[in-house]
A and B are shown apart, each in its own frame.
Chain A
């Protein structure tokens, strides 16, 4: 179906456009111009998506909390992001006198740079990855690990106890949840046999009876995807894991002392990080840019990637509107005592899946192991009281 010329051109429209544009330039600068063009498009596209997301989030949260949300700027308040942008650009940039100026300035810059680098390896459509690295997934996680440092820099350089506490909470949380995040992705790597995100998408882009071979439709894939989602939510410091910026305890966490444009950069970094981790989740488990049904293949691949991404964002917003915030001890216990054993079991199940060969046996066995382990661990954890209410001992 992709062979039809119109479908093909719609699918490859951005690739063809890019080739046409850089074809106008002399051949000596063409490679550099091609990279530059892709980078500029990514740098423009995701902030635009960020603006759209803020309005979806504020409107959606408003609906969930039985209020209207922003409705003053433009029709139905849809121009609110522009007003917000102008406001944050024109506000005074306040740096505390005791702050460490250089580090205070570098922290948001580092965050934004690092967060955008993750998009270099994400395939956003057929032939639409900026680079096809052999170790693309490793690159993504290596870059993602650097955000922790910028959070620490922000919290420490502000010389504010709330900032520092928020930063230490954020770093501890991000390190803890990076382990399940990485290990749940390792299951995909074990089945695909490659760290290249393009190959991972290609491996899922097959259909049986018109249904896709996405990894989420396997027992280990579903378990891995659920853990990936939990870990990704914690990794991006989103509710219900938003303790680092728990406003009832820590003012605003590590960006308490940031204002104006630098605060906008943190805000942007947080959302762009959310986009990139959602894109990774879609690539690993939801087939990336492949269509959910074979008959839908005439719709361009980039459309599917971005709709999966936005669907993930909507789930993030939904969760924010639904769950209460966790406590720090619950958060850590959940990562180390629940997610980690479960994800290790999942790795074992994935290996079993790989070596049992085709047939109903592996479906039954893998599902059974995962369900038994999950239920047993959840019951044991609930009984041990790690997730129940805590008894405070103030006056003993």
Chain B
């Protein structure tokens, strides 16, 4: 099914490009959602069902919503009158292009040794669950701690400091 891959890849890259290039901040946030959805579909194309759905749930359901909330809270929903790109945008673009050139060169030169086919891995959600509470239980606990810390931290950072906490 390479046709599906090309369509999804084009969608992902288009969404990413739009997110970086569009002028209106909310449009950027909506475009990056397309890129997130495209990446989730690429995960599904790679038979990683659980990761794909987790990607949709976390990125489209939570991160994208967080981003649009932040945009509205900081009054950024209108297009700025002066430019949207940084003063030294050329240097940034150059660095990004250089990194893509290096990565692309590395991938294209190693095509001969990269595997082209692999048997479909029969991984069920039950196995992922077993692995999470078995072999990967320590990372799981650390992530739980990190998420708790991040939640408390985000609330404290965003809390109004003038004592009007209600």
| Residues of chain A having any CB pair with chain B under 8 Å | 103, 133-135, 138-139, 141-146, 148-149, 152-153, 156, 164, 168, 171, 175, 178, 193-196
Which parts of B44-72 form the interface with A (CB within 8 Å)?
A: 49-50, 53-54, 56-57, 60-62, 64-65, 68-69, 72
Closest B residue to A194 by CB, please name it.
Answer: B126
Contacts of A133 on B, CB cut-off 8 Å?
Answer: 49
Contacts of B124 on A, CB cut-off 8 Å?
Answer: 134
Q: Which of B26, B33, B54, B65 has the most CB of A within 10 A?
A: B65
- Interface secondary structure of B, over-half rule: helix
- Check B56–A168 contact: CB distance below 8 A: no
- Check A145–B62 contact: CB distance below 8 A: yes
Contacts of B26 on A, CB cut-off 8 Å?
Answer: 103, 156
Given contacts A134-B124, A134-B125, A194-B126, contact A142 B50 (CB under 8 A): no
CA distance A40 to B139 in the complex (A): 44
CA distance A145 to B53 in the complex (A): 11
**How far, in Å, is B4 (CB) from chain A's closest CB?**
14
Contacts of B53 on A, CB cut-off 8 Å?
Answer: 135, 138-139, 142
- Check A175–B65 contact: CB distance below 8 A: yes
| Residues of chain B having any CB pair with chain A under 8 Å | 26-27, 30, 33, 49-50, 53-54, 56-57, 60-62, 64-65, 68-69, 72, 77, 124-126
CA distance A171 to B60 in the complex (A): 13
- Check A156–B125 contact: CB distance below 8 A: no
Return 18 A-B CB contacts under 8 Å, by A number: A103-B26, A103-B30, A135-B53, A138-B53, A142-B53, A142-B54, A142-B56, A142-B60, A145-B56, A145-B61, A149-B30, A149-B60, A156-B68, A164-B72, A171-B69, A175-B65, A178-B61, A194-B125
- Check A152–B65 contact: CB distance below 8 A: yes
- Check B72–A153 contact: CB distance below 8 A: no
Contact of B56 among A146, A156, A178 (CB under 8 A): A146
- Check B61–A142 contact: CB distance below 8 A: yes
Contacts of A171 on B, CB cut-off 8 Å?
Answer: 65, 68-69
- Check A149–B64 contact: CB distance below 8 A: yes
Contacts of A153 on B, CB cut-off 8 Å?
Answer: 30
Closest B residue to A156 by CB, please name it.
Answer: B26
CA distance A146 to B60 in the complex (A): 6
**How far, in Å, is A130 (CB) from chain B's closest CB?**
16
**How far, in Å, is B82 (CB) from chain A's closest CB?**
21
Contacts of A135 on B, CB cut-off 8 Å?
Answer: 49-50, 53, 125
**How far, in Å, is B66 (CB) from chain A's closest CB?**
9
Closest A residue to B55 by CB, please name it.
Answer: A142
In the A-B complex, list the 3 residue pairs whose CB atoms are closest, starting with the nearest.
Answer: A145-B61, A142-B56, A142-B57
Contact of A152 among B54, B56, B68 (CB under 8 A): B68
Contacts of A103 on B, CB cut-off 8 Å?
Answer: 26-27, 30
**How far, in Å, is B35 (CB) from chain A's closest CB?**
13
CA distance A126 to B62 in the complex (A): 34
Closest B residue to A196 by CB, please name it.
Answer: B125
- Check B65–A195 contact: CB distance below 8 A: no
CA distance A142 to B69 in the complex (A): 19
**How far, in Å, is B29 (CB) from chain A's closest CB?**
9
Closest B residue to A329 by CB, please name it.
Answer: B166
Given contacts A152-B68, A193-B126, contact A134 B49 (CB under 8 A): yes
Contact of B33 among A144, A149, A156 (CB under 8 A): A149
Q: Which of B27, B53, B56, B64 has the most CB of A within 10 A?
A: B53
